[in-house]
Structure 1
């Protein structure tokens, strides 16, 4: 008997839908079907794939109210935030559809003097079948960054969503088929289940895995993929910092940081979890932050700023981090431990916790923020870099942003804003350290989902000169030392 997975509304525990937990054999069968469909998908070429992806994005746009409502019910975020997430996902589909052909076209290379009778080129070849394991916090936008890119590059995709958001994933996958009725099944497929299902996908014969989630789960995915030598791209957690310089627009910084920290209940891998602010403007920044957060509240109805914690097991993590921050010397200046409820958490801001506290060193993934007072921007950068993560960050300064950006050890930075890089389909997204490796989004993302193929073609033979042959003339062997000196000794 097939095990079942129940999806619940995180605000009410209402059942949204029920899904099967796919077995290893079922996963292999779905991947095999995707491999068969990949023949047709590759034959469509860039032009045909562009048409199919644009059909899909128009369908998503035309039926956006249905998906926004489902996102609200299954994920918990307010409908306006769900609409923003969908808009960003559609932007990325559109960009990939329109630019894959240009980014991935074959390119000629100079063969060099030694083999001047050859032509040379580099092709970018689709892997075949890509497995995508997606998260629950942005169940459309985040996996779409891998899915739309992999499809545009010529791969078929098998998508395993989080067990917290399978209904959203099913709607999204079905939308592709509904928008492209002439396409065979298997271009974009869905499997549902738990961690065992994800491990089965890694071992199912896919050609690459794109994973988004925690570093702990990422290690498990990498281990399963290593058994069968499947390459991976890892988009993992973050502990992003915002640096506020004395010359910043303090009101604008407070407004942006409040959204970057508390938006989506703080459940954002590139959200702001730490602030380093110069002492001269620290009190002014806190005053402005209090003003912004005074009107920010969690809930499910109209006017709610963000929804419930989607994953209940994350709530004890938030509580532990707040308690540890206070125990290390931090002071709660907005909210306190009593604002951590069974489903909802109101904004909590902690001033000057210990640098080694969990609230500084570990990903919290909740609507909390630490604010650390610094005496200089140099100190701010040193502290911002002194964590295991390296995903994104933000800098607020009118004149000194560039020098801070150049020293920040992160892969993405927003200047005088937050999260801007995530909304731009042209920019790559990825991390270092505990934040992962590889890139999604932009040209770098398209290249991530292809492998290179070098092609060297002999255009004509050179009479009497056979360098790559056992029939090489003795005079060529005698010439080689002279040729080495002539070409490379100067």
Structure 2
């Protein structure tokens, strides 16, 4: 998502303005949607606030039943959801089907695991406080605002929506202006399940609508989009000290060691780099290959890339660039790489058309070029040789981003993966972590902070509540204005027994 966050427009008595969503492959209008201003956004938040009592009162088991019903409805309407994604986002129907299916799996996971992850747990009170029974539980924040992207308009926002709902929050969802129809379908299906209650609410519009949501009476904002827009979201949220979780851009790399399965690595590189027209924040944009296997890897990569093409028809392996202005960014990155000495071995500067971008592979691209340092978000791959894996890790980490990545190899692959500064890494596969509901999803650096998915994703939309209950009188009463020197002396003696040992000094290294 790269929509701007701008000041809200003034309200008036004029009819509410609207905007159209378009099929990026054909230019046809897919739907017309209202531009919600501050008044409409605040009304949606107020409705969500009113629904918190009912939704939280259901408890984990009650919410689970509704969420699993929603899962079932979406599963039965899977092809309808995929078709809406196909028409508004342009991606092949099969890719849209895969995206929606993974989102459904996350809804089920969040619903089923929320009680165990967030429910009350006993905590050891320790010898000093042995008279106290201690526990911790995770309580919902209240109303969560979710600002979703256009590149994965089902899977990505569901990673926040489903987990926030399972934790007991109500949600106001602002989908991207490029895919508002997908957002409408998600909200409508859930609203059917809860019999019209405003637990999950929709607001549509442009940057002003997102800005209004950030400064509304919400308890947290979950944003997915570009790093630049993420900073604007944070600035807007700072007005009310509203916490945020930011899932921003990436410049992920794939590292290929000399003992890697080159055919599998080439297949993964093409999928990671070209699928969804390269419009994947956790996709592959850089590939670092051990110099000993660089030539055979390139031969295999080009062999597998032969005949791959974009298109809106059944023969297209990926669709158009959803956001037209991204075409200029892709072109500039390719031209800059070539101008600096990079070699186009497939595609090139003329690969960028009016709507579609042909697969482009560049090699020996300088590390200071735009194609290496900035997020391209197009179906391009930069493939460079490295002398060893130390260099591969060093170059991989030489970025302001830190979202995801992949490693292909055998003997040292896991060690290499652990050295990569990123929130997620796949070994001998690509993007696999996103499909595992129990794993946290998020990055570091300019890729953002906070996590969705897994136990961390559930806790992201809660606050920890600590409770102690005195179950017997304390042996030493310290919390009393009548405390005397004898009591304090006994406390000091007990502390010496517990913690006053000399211990063992660590060996000098």
TM above 0.5, one fold?
Answer: yes
Give the Å deviation of 1:141: 0.3
Asked if structure 2 preserves the Cα contact closer than 8 Å seen for 1:5 and 1:21, the reply is yes
Q: 1:293 is matched with which residue?
A: 305
Can you list the C-alpha shifts for 1:204-259, whole angstroms capped at 9, x where unaligned? 11111111001100001111111111111111111110011111111111011101
Counterpart-to-counterpart distance in 2, 1:15 and 1:469: 72
For 2:39 and 2:477, locate their aligned partners in 1 and report how far apart those are by CA, in whole Å. 53
In structure 2, C-alpha distance between the alignment counterparts of 1:317 and 1:178, rounded to whole Å: 41
Equivalent-residue separation in structure 2 for 1:93 and 1:255 (angstroms): 29
RMSD, aligned α-carbons: 1.3
Residue 411 (structure 1) shift: 1.3
Q: In the alignment, does 2:31 pair up with 1:17?
A: yes
Superposed displacement of residue 480, structure 1 = 4.2
Aligned counterparts of 2:497 and 2:326: Cα–Cα separation in 1? 66
1:135 and 2:149 matched? yes
Paired residue for 2:178? 164
Calculate the TM-score normalised by the size of structure 1: 0.97
- Do the aligned partners of 1:119 and 1:458 also contact (CA within 8 Å) in 2? yes
SS at match of 2:173: strand
Structure 1: 5+ residue stretches without partners: none
Contact 1:55-1:180 at 8 Å conserved across structures: no
CA contact (8 A) 1:466 1:473 kept: no
In structure 2, the residue matched to 1:423 is 435
Match of 2:361 among 349, 366, 373: 349
Question: 2:122 matched to which residue of 1?
Answer: 108
1:58 alignment counterpart: 72
Q: Which of 275, 278, 291 does residue 279 from structure 1 map onto? A: 291
In the superposition, relative to structure 1, how do residues 462 and 251 fare at CA in structure 2: closer, same or farther (>3 Å)?
closer
User: 1:262 Cα shift?
Assistant: 0.1
- Are 1:36 and 2:47 matched, yes or no? no
Distance 1:416 1:462, change over 3 A: closer
Match for residue 368 of structure 1? 380
Moved over 4 A (4+): none
CA distance in 1, matches of 2:485, 2:493: 14
Q: Quick one: distance in 2 between partners of 1:11 and 1:118?
A: 65
Aligned match of 1:223 in 220, 224, 235?
A: 235
Cα deviation, 1:92-145, whole Å, max 9, x if unaligned, reads 011111111111111111112222211110011011111111000000000100
476, 482, 486: which one aligns with 2:497 = 486
Query: When the two structures are superposed, what TM-score results if normalisation uses the length of structure 2?
Result: 0.94
1:271-297 CA-to-partner distances (Å, cap 9, x unmatched) read: 000000011211111111112211211
What's 1:263 paired with? 275
Q: 1:200 deviation in Å? A: 1.0
Deviation at 1:20, TM superposition (A): 1.2
Partner of 2:507: none
Question: Is residue 84 of structure 1 aligned with residue 98 of structure 2?
Answer: yes
Give the paired residue count: 487
SS of residue in 1 equivalent to 2:463: strand
Of 408, 420, 425, the residue aligned with 1:408 is: 420
Segment of structure 1 superposing worse, 477-486 or 269-278? 477-486
**What is the CA distance between 1:482 and its match in structure 2?**
3.6
Distance in 1 (alpha carbons) for counterparts of 2:24 and 2:224:
21
Paired residues of 2:191 and 2:198 also in contact (CA < 8 A): no
Q: Does 1:476 find its partner at 2:490? A: no
Unpaired segments ≥5 residues, structure 2: 1-13, 502-509
CA distance in 1, matches of 2:374, 2:310: 23
Q: For 2:333, which of 321, 325, 342 is the aligned residue?
A: 321
- 1:483 deviates by 4.0
Paired residue for 2:187, among 173, 181, 189? Answer: 173
